[in-house]
Chain A
Amino acid sequence: MADFETPKFREYPAVPLIKQDEMAGGGPFVSRAEFDTDLGYPGELPEDWKEKTLEKMGDLLGRYRSLQVFMDSCIKCGACTDKCHYFIGTNDPKNMPVARQDLMRKVYRRYFTFAGKYFPKLVGAVDLTEDVLDEWYNYYHQCSECRRCSVFCPMGIDTAEVTMAAREILANVGKAQKYSNQIIQKVYKIGNNLGLPGKALKGILEDLEEEMEDECGVPVKFNMDEVGCDALLMTPSADFFAEPHIDGLIGYGKVLHELGITWTVSSKASEAANFGLFIGSYDNIQKVSMRIREAAIELKVKRIIFGECGHAWRVAYSFLNTLAGPFDFLDQNYPIPQHILEVTYGALEDGKLRMNKAENDHLTMTFHDSCNVARASRMGDTPGGQFDIPRAVIQASCNNYVDMDADTIKDATFCCGGGGGLLTDDLMELRVKGALPRMEALKEVTEESGVTNIAAICAICKSQFTKTLPYYGFEMDAIMSVHQLVSEAIVMKGSEQEKELDGVEEDEDAKSED
């Protein structure tokens, strides 16, 4: 399948021994100048790269308290050293969170601290060379910015903040990553990550409407650029396109139809994802976020609802108000923005949705908490709602549900292995190896509790699992959308499913059989 070995499941998941330089290399494909310049980067290594690097580093140290404090406050206690899925999967010591931070901290100490200026050897400070930058490029693209290490750090140091800063610095000296930058450029030029033009999107949505009509006998609408709807739906473009994502989109459509909430997507902002986060660029996160504001204004909606996407929900929940707010023109009776799971959960609580769980009886489900939802956002009114609400919705949709090992879920969840801008084929080895801890936890519940499928609420997780599950001996379609389960179980008023369930249809069938 590839020129690397899939890690073996460990009988006793002990902390692995370190293997120096196991993942040394050139990192993912470097961006082309044309993608960079559109994003405000130079696109090539400038002659004065060293000054530029230090200048940008100083700039970021002055802009981000997180970076400044985190550069100083690490005590090298080692608490994080066995917490990163990439370290567990690759055993490369530079994938230990503290070692990853140290790649930058060593340079910080050399140029920005008294101790490092005068006693570099004593405090492990190093000179900035092109080799150092190359090492940054390689290892800061082996971090999925999932924040698991920060949960365990006694100082609250979040490696994601360091990784984002490093990528922003690298991009400023012509070493940006192709995958992320090309995608952001597509968002600016076409409107979404996949480069799906408005016309094609319209076609897909019309097909979906027809399909729904045929299947359920109910006119479930999938609007695009429709002015005056209740809600703007922001969802990852994978939802328009691929399995199991699109089954989730169908689920949102059915729920919103049943609740009488009219909604539309925007061809201009047909993408919830915001890769500006991954490259650590405030300017680009904001520019991508502004599309949402513009679309909401143009389409005259009252609410903004987000579909299943992990980092998009982080940006939406935590940053959107800051970056594109204030949203005083929207209906203040609803959370701004709102997650589709909050909508579905609220409706279930109020008894507004009829669910036939038996539709999913052939499944035994487990749930993968997506890192950005788990550790960088919330749902509902109480801390931890981001764990309880998806589980409640799944359990309202199916009868068989089992959680994975407690050390691998909720705020201790392991990244799928493909987050943070690493969901690219040129990082396949890293992605497969980084998936190891999640795959082990999944294996355990399949063997002990007969789990058949795993649900997720993130387009990246879903795509990553579709690719990596087969490496570990699972079926690729074992990964499902949460709203796919909802879609299977929901019984819409006036639908074929309702008739079937209530026996109206049965009478007619009985007659014809006679």
Chain B
Amino acid sequence: MSAFYALLLTVAFLVLIIGLTKKIIQYSRVPAPLKIPVTPAPLTKGGVAVRLAKEAILFAALFRSNKWTWLFGWMFHMSLFIVLINHLRFFIKDVPLPLVLLQNVGEYAAFTMFIGLAGLLIRRIFVARVKYISSPSDYLWLILLMVIALTGIVMRFVSHTDIIAVKEFSLGLLRLNWQTLPTDFPLMVHLLLVAVLMILLPFSKLLHIPGLFFAPTRNQVDNPREERHIAPWAAELDAEKNKVQPK
């Protein structure tokens, strides 16, 4: 069983990294032939960085759009972020002080993560407009993340897992030196679903993670009059145009 999980998680991690990298390469290679920032837009690259940061960290557009979706969505994402940082302890032999300190607050992030996800699920089921646009996969993602959060909560607060052994296992994964994994049921479910999540991420709507930063509507500088913007494939058409010049 330990070997199966070790293999699964290693493969899942590779799929995640390779899949995501391929997508990011694709997004950066496809040209954006025209200037299409949604205005008012920043006039400088620094301004664009601020605009994107506000979207990535504060979900600014969503806040403007719908307060409930923002509340649950932001709660879930920020909690997940804290939870992920908290999990770094499983991959660092001597846990640094900031991580130790974070744990006191961090372990409750799993609850807010669960509440956020539950709010999103309820909204998806009961708001007719959102229900209309939902596919089975949209519900399944929420449920999958909820089960991951729930099994984490169970391991921490209800039926404790031998985390020393888990840490041995996870450190072993990094060194390709596979260790024995405790066979608690919640842990089995937790890790299985995490592996599923990592494998499916590059093939799913979770591509919104890189996608957010690649949207030309948000990442372009508003300077079309000052700087001429030209995409490679459009340069071909451009050659034709250069025949029209003042004499």
Contacts and interface: CB of A to CB of B under 8 A. Distances in A.
Nearest to A383: B40
Contacts of B40: 378, 383-384, 386-387, 411
B39 A374 contact: yes
A289 B144 CA distance: 51
Contacts of B116: none
A296 to B, nearest CB: 9
Residue with the highest number of chain A CB atoms closer than 10 Å, among B34, B133, B135, B224 = B133
Contact of B33 (A63, A96, A152, A153): A63
B102 interface: no
Contacts, number: 222
Nearest to A151: B38
Interface in A284-316: 286, 290, 293-294, 297, 300
B211 A155 contact: yes
Nearest to A381: B43
Contacts of B133: 76, 78, 81, 93, 96, 98-99, 102
Contact of A317 (B203, B224, B233): B224
Contacts of B138: 76
Given A66-B32, A66-B216, A378-B40, A156 B55 contact: yes
A158 B36 contact: yes
Given A151-B61, A157-B215, A318 B36 contact: yes
Given A64-B33, A72-B211, A319 B66 contact: no
B41 to A, nearest CB: 6
Contact of B217 (A99, A150, A283): A150
Contacts of A440: none
Nearest to B200: A115
B204 A81 contact: no
Interface in B140-159: 140
A155 B241 contact: no
Contacts of A69: 27, 30, 211, 214-216
B84 to A, nearest CB: 18
Interface stretch (B123-131, B161-169, B170-178): B123-131
Interface in B195-245: 200, 203-205, 207-208, 211-212, 214-218, 222, 224-225, 227-231, 233-234, 237, 241, 244-245
Contact of A18 (B26, B31, B129, B207): B129
Interface of B: 23, 26-27, 30-36, 38-43, 55, 59, 61-62, 64-66, 69, 73, 120, 123-124, 127-130, 132-138, 140, 200, 203-205, 207-208, 211-212, 214-218, 222, 224-225, 227-231, 233-234, 237, 241, 244-246
Given A66-B215, A153-B61, A156-B38, 13 more contacts: A62-B30, A65-B27, A72-B211, A74-B205, A76-B134, A79-B61, A81-B129, A98-B133, A155-B211, A156-B212, A322-B228, A336-B225, A337-B225
28 contacts: A18-B129, A61-B30, A63-B233, A65-B216, A68-B27, A68-B30, A72-B23, A72-B207, A72-B208, A72-B211, A73-B207, A77-B73, A78-B123, A79-B65, A93-B133, A152-B62, A154-B212, A282-B234, A293-B244, A300-B246, A317-B224, A319-B224, A321-B227, A322-B34, A322-B234, A335-B225, A376-B38, A382-B43
Closest 8 CB pairs of A and B: A73-B211, A124-B135, A383-B40, A156-B215, A152-B65, A78-B130, A156-B218, A79-B65
